[in-house]
Amino acid sequence: MKDEIIKIKEEILAELKKVKESEALGNLETKYLGRKGKLTVLLKQIAGLSDEEKKEIGRLANQTKKEMISKFKEIKSVISGKGEDTFVDVTLPGEKRVLGHLHPVTIVQNELEDLFKSMGFMVLDGPELESDYFNFEALNIPSHHPARDMQDTFYVATPHPNPLPHPQPLSFARRGESKERGQEETNVDQSDMVMRTHTSPVQVRGMLKYGAPLRCVAPGRVFRAEAIDAVHEHTFDQMEGLMVDENISISNLIAVMKELINGIFGREVETRVRPGYFPFVEPGIELDIKCTICNGSGCPGCKHSGWLEILPAGQVHPKVLEYGGIDPDKYSGFAFGLGLTRLAMMKYKINDTRLFNSGDLRFLRQF
Ligand code: FA5
């Protein structure tokens, strides 16, 4: 029995050396010192020994038990960080922690926000669930206008035959600002709401809230009932830009666009400008960039055209300035609606836009 006690003691000490955390320590304590623990069971057998043996083995047993209890105590306090570190091997390599990181679209968005802030633009957040009025009407797209078909819309309920105009801006705020009291979106007819198809509604919201002169960008998610493919998603990101002041012209727009493209790519990227039609700008243009994935030779990422539509823009239509409460005889402006997701595709050479929302960690871990 004496040998058995010594053997269990050595076994305990060997196992204790391997213990690194409290759960394993607790399990070990139960295994040896618990009610049915190995050492406890062995010590119970002492009762059946002769008086002579009881004396000698009893002493050894009590001493071993005491020693082991204090050893467990000591290690417990080391693990919880309270005691002397007598067994942790500090030369062992540390455990690698897996950290989360930013989504590639968020990285591009943050870079652009910084770029625009450095040019005096403020960042606005508009609502994703938007009124028909701000998404279309106030952008010079009345109901039954054929331009409504340019963007396939997710209506939240059955469309209202005559959408109600909203004379007041619904609650929305500048980044970091809280919504103003009394501006809660109360009397909005549910049949009048859409998942915003673009970030352009924030133009009118911004003008109504802050007036002229105004420089703002509004990044965010937009939604379209699209047939999806390598360059079309139903949910993607845009960044609206708006600058309103006296004597703003297309040349200001081109200067800002160039700054934007060079800022994101950190080098000159080949671009082309085509005329474009949007009811809320006049004139309107489309800026495309040469596909950075195939360098213009054609690939799935540019639908084999060599170019990617990325930055539609134009001079703000006078009617839109009026909807925003700004005098079009005094002020003019430019606006653009950057395809943020497509810009991220070009920056990181991703040839399928569906990867962004796939939730595939193997894809996301690369950025
Ligand atoms: C608009 O949404 C206008 N609101 C842009 C605008 C703003 C024009 C201000 C003038 C002044 P468009 O439907 O072309 O335009 O979309 C803008 C950009 O979003 C496109 O150039 C493209 O880069 C991106 N985009 C459009 N549809 C999708 C889609 N289904 N998936 C991914 N990106 C898309």
Residues 156 and 208 in one domain: yes
Rounded Cα–Cα distance for residues 262 and 248 (Å): 22
Number of domains in the chain: 2
Q: Determine, yes or no, domain membership for 217.
A: yes
Residues 200 and 327 in one domain: yes
Q: So what's the pLDDT on residue 181?
A: 41
Q: Which of 78-82, 108-112, 158-162, 236-240 has the lowest mean pLDDT?
A: 158-162
Q: So what's the pLDDT on residue 82?
A: 59
CA of 338 to the centre of ligand 1 (A): 7
Which of 195, 198, 345 has most ligand 1 atoms within 8 Å of its beta carbon, as the pocket-test mutant?
198
pLDDT digits (tens, 9 = 90+) for 282-309: 999 999 999 988 999 999 888 899 998 8
CA of 198 to the centre of ligand 1 (A): 7
Residue 165 confidence (pLDDT) above 60: no
CA of 344 to the centre of ligand 1 (A): 14
Q: So what's the pLDDT on residue 50?
A: 85
Residue nearest to atom 14 of ligand 1 (CA): 312
Residues 260 and 312 in one domain: yes
Q: Is 296 left (phi over 0), alpha (psi -120 to 50) or beta?
A: left
Q: So what's the pLDDT on residue 17?
A: 87
Q: So what's the pLDDT on residue 161?
A: 58
Q: So what's the pLDDT on residue 184?
A: 43
Q: Determine, yes or no, domain membership for 90.
A: no
Q: Determine, yes or no, domain membership for 39.
A: yes
Residues 109 and 240 in one domain: yes
Q: Which of 105-109, 182-186, 260-264 has the lowest mean pLDDT?
A: 182-186
The torsion defined by the Cα of 252, 256, 259 and 260, in degrees rounded to 10, comes to -160
pLDDT digits (tens, 9 = 90+) for 313-342: 999 999 999 999 999 999 999 999 999 999
Q: Determine, yes or no, domain membership for 243.
A: yes
Q: So what's the pLDDT on residue 182?
A: 39
Residues 74 and 110 in one domain: no
CA of 228 to the centre of ligand 1 (A): 14
Residue 166 confidence (pLDDT) above 70: no
CA of 57 to the centre of ligand 1 (A): 87
Mean pLDDT, range 244-249, rounded to an integer: 96
Starting at the earlier edge strand, list the strands of the sheet with 214-223.
Answer: 173-174, 122-125, 214-223, 235-245, 332-339, 307-316, 281-290, 271-275
Token pair belonging to 362 = 């193997």
Residue 103 confidence (pLDDT) above 80: yes
Q: Tell which of 79, 95, 120 closes a domain.
A: 79
Residues 196 and 52 in one domain: no
- 301: CATH: 3.30.930.10
Q: So what's the pLDDT on residue 171?
A: 59
CA of 363 to the centre of ligand 1 (A): 24
Q: Determine, yes or no, domain membership for 65.
A: yes
Rounded Cα–Cα distance for residues 37 and 43 (Å): 10
Task: State the chain's mean pLDDT as an integer.
Answer: 87
Q: So what's the pLDDT on residue 292?
A: 87
Q: Determine, yes or no, domain membership for 312.
A: yes
Residues 144 and 16 in one domain: no
CA of 240 to the centre of ligand 1 (A): 10
Residue nearest to atom 5 of ligand 1 (CA): 337
Q: Which atom of ligand 1 is nearest to the CA of 203?
A: 9
Residues 122 and 116: beta-carbon distance below 8 Å: no
Token pair belonging to 109 = 């968005």
Residues 52 and 125 in one domain: no
Residue 189 confidence (pLDDT) above 80: no
Q: Determine, yes or no, domain membership for 229.
A: yes
> Which residue bears the tokens 């134009």?
314
Residues 282 and 315: beta-carbon distance below 8 Å: yes
Query: Which residue range is the domain that position 176 belongs to?
Result: 104-364
Helix or strand run (H / E) with residue 41: helix 38-44
Q: What is the distance, to the nearest Å, from the Cα of residue 72 to the centroid of all Cα atoms in its chain?
A: 46
**How many other CB atoms are there within 10 angstroms of residue 266's CB atom?**
9
Buried-state track 67-102, b at ≥16 Cβ within 10 A, e below 16? ebeebbeebbebbeeeeeeeeeeeeeeeeeeeeeee
Q: So what's the pLDDT on residue 328?
A: 97
Q: Which atom of ligand 1 is nearest to the CA of 228?
A: 30
Residues 122 and 22 in one domain: no
pLDDT category of residue 164 using cuts at 50, 70 and 90: low
Residues 10 and 153 in one domain: no
Q: Which residue has the higher pLDDT, 185 or 8?
A: 8
Q: Which atom of ligand 1 is nearest to the CA of 342?
A: 23
Q: Which of 74-88, 170-184, 209-223 has the lowest mean pLDDT?
A: 170-184
Q: Determine, yes or no, domain membership for 321.
A: yes
Residues 268 and 145 in one domain: yes
Residues 28 and 130 in one domain: no
List, chain by chain if needed, residues with CB within 6 Å of any ligand 1 atom: 151, 198, 200, 224, 226, 232-233, 236, 238, 278, 281, 284, 309-310, 312-314, 335-337, 339, 341-342, 353
CA of 337 to the centre of ligand 1 (A): 6
Token pair belonging to 348 = 């990181």
